[in-house]
Amino acid sequence: MKLNFNQEIGKNKDTNKYRLDLDLNEILKLKLLLEKNKSSELTSILDKVDNIKIIKSSDKKKIAIDKARETRSQKIKVKIQNAINILRLEDKKITHYSIAKVGKVSYVTVKKVISNEKIEKLNIVYY
């Protein structure tokens, strides 16, 4: 969304607020540009750039993120193991691709979870 400085931006202060994710270099460049083009309209923006706040994640949020990641990982591992079992029952060759196809999981994900050596071991038939 492009904003024109000639437009009125948000009469009500609670609406039309936007957040930017900027790294330090981008903040410094923005600050230089604002200082070069100082005007009454840009003064409030320059004040905000001067008083930046770093947003930190809470411990609860970090724990929730880790728990969600672990849950997804476990579900994927179960899908992969089920796919391997199906391939064994059907007496088909076990490859990263076949596991991904049968388990309905990304090929890249299967490559991350199962090494080439493990695939070779899975294909050894014991008599």
In whole angstroms, how large is the CA radius of gyration of the chain?
Answer: 27
Residue 3 lies in a domain: no
Q: Let me know whether 113 and 80 are in one domain.
A: yes
Q: What share of the chain is helix, strand, coil (3-state, %, to 5)?
A: 60, 0, 40
Query: What pLDDT is stored for residue 9 in this prediction?
Result: 45
Q: Let me know whether 37 and 90 are in one domain.
A: no
Q: Let me know whether 40 and 72 are in one domain.
A: no
Query: What pLDDT is stored for residue 18 in this prediction?
Result: 66
Map tokens 């003064």 to a residue. Answer: 43
Q: Let me know whether 64 and 49 are in one domain.
A: no
The answer to whether the beta carbons of residues 73 and 110 sit under 8 Å apart is no
Query: What pLDDT is stored for residue 1 in this prediction?
Result: 42
Q: How many domains does the chain have?
A: 2
What's the pTM value of the predicted model, to 2 decimals?
A: 0.55
Q: Let me know whether 68 and 106 are in one domain.
A: yes
104's torsion region: left (phi>0), alpha (psi -120 to 50) or beta? left
**Which structural domain range is residue 81 located in?**
59-122
Q: Let me know whether 77 and 109 are in one domain.
A: yes
Query: What pLDDT is stored for residue 10 in this prediction?
Result: 46
Query: Taking the chain (127 residues) in consecutive chunks of 10 residues, what is each chunk's mean pLDDT?
Result: 44 58 78 75 70 76 93 96 94 94 95 93 74
Query: What pLDDT is stored for residue 16 in this prediction?
Result: 61
Q: Let me know whether 63 and 47 are in one domain.
A: no
Query: What pLDDT is stored for residue 90 in this prediction?
Result: 93
Q: Let me know whether 50 and 94 are in one domain.
A: no
